[in-house]
Every structure is written in structure tokens, then in C-alpha cells.
Amino acid sequence: MGSKADMHPTPKTISAGVIITRDEAGKTVYLLLRAYGYWDFPKGIVEPGEDPLDTVIREVAEETTLTDLDFRWGHEYRETPPYGRGKVARYYLAENREGSVSLPVSPELGRPEHDEYRWLGYRQARRLLAARVQPVLDWAHELITSTRSRKQC
């Protein structure tokens, strides 16, 4: 009989990312990045001893040049089920009000990490995302919508 640890093994790798939103003409849009034919949010591997939120801030700056993230919904996060070789992606939610996205050349790769970016509304973003990431977007959208509803009351 196995232990609890055997039934729920610790993921081999945690990737920390963030769903970045901004307001465009009163509508919430989400930043998606495309690499190798799939769309996702900015994220990267949590290095040993690194706090996942520090990973998020570092990765966003490296991948998009955005540095002004407002974690106005707190530090709550959602994780994907394990994929690949046990990797789990943890996503936070932040807003960016000003910065413009750039896809800089990665020194390690000699090219940008991503091929394209788009700011998209909820429905368009959900259609492009892989099934394992869609529930994370749903969580973020619900949190944003409920916050907006409370402000209007």
C-alpha cells in the first residue's frame, strides 16, 4: 500500500505564469503569447530558491518587456493539471495599464521566445488556449467580472 505521497506525487517542475489584463475602451482584454504553434500566458520555470511571484515578474519582463504589473486581485493562483513530464503551471492574475509589449531576443535562444502576441477578449482568448489552460482563464474572467460587478453596486 502506497503513502499519500505516492498517490499525489510532487510535480517535478513548477512553471509560474500570469494572466495579464488591461482595459481597452471599457473591455477587459488578455495578453496571449504564441510559441511553437500554441497560445499561452507568459510563464517560466521557477528556479531553485526562487519565489513563484518573483519568477512571474522576471519572466514577464524577459518575454514581453512589461514591468508594471498590478496584482490587484491579490496573490491567489490557479494551477493546471500535470502535463509533459509532470510539469504544473501556476497562474496568477495581474493588470498592466500602460506598457507596450515587445518580444525581445532571448540571449540563450538567439531569437524571441515567442512568435507573436495578441490582446484578446475573453471568448477569443479561450478559443486559442489549450484545454488545460482554459479553466485558468475562466477563473480569472470570473474574478474580474465579480470585482467589476461589486464596484457597480
Determine the residue type at 95.
Answer: E
How confident is the model at residue 99, as a pLDDT?
Answer: 73
pLDDT at 11 over 60: no
pLDDT at 113 over 90: yes
| Domain segments of the chain as ranges | 12-146
CB neighbours of 45 closer than 8 A, spacing ≥ 6? 13, 14, 15, 55
Mean pLDDT of the region 45-72: 95
How confident is the model at residue 6, as a pLDDT?
Answer: 44
Centroid of chain to Cα 22? 14
Q: By C-alpha distance, which of 25, 54, 56, 27 is closest to 43?
A: 56
pLDDT band, residue 2 (cuts 50/70/90): very low
pLDDT band, residue 10 (cuts 50/70/90): low
pLDDT at 74 over 50: yes
How confident is the model at residue 151, as a pLDDT?
Answer: 62
Mean pLDDT over the full length of the chain: 90
How confident is the model at residue 18, as a pLDDT?
Answer: 98
CATH number of the domain at 12-146, please?
3.90.79.10
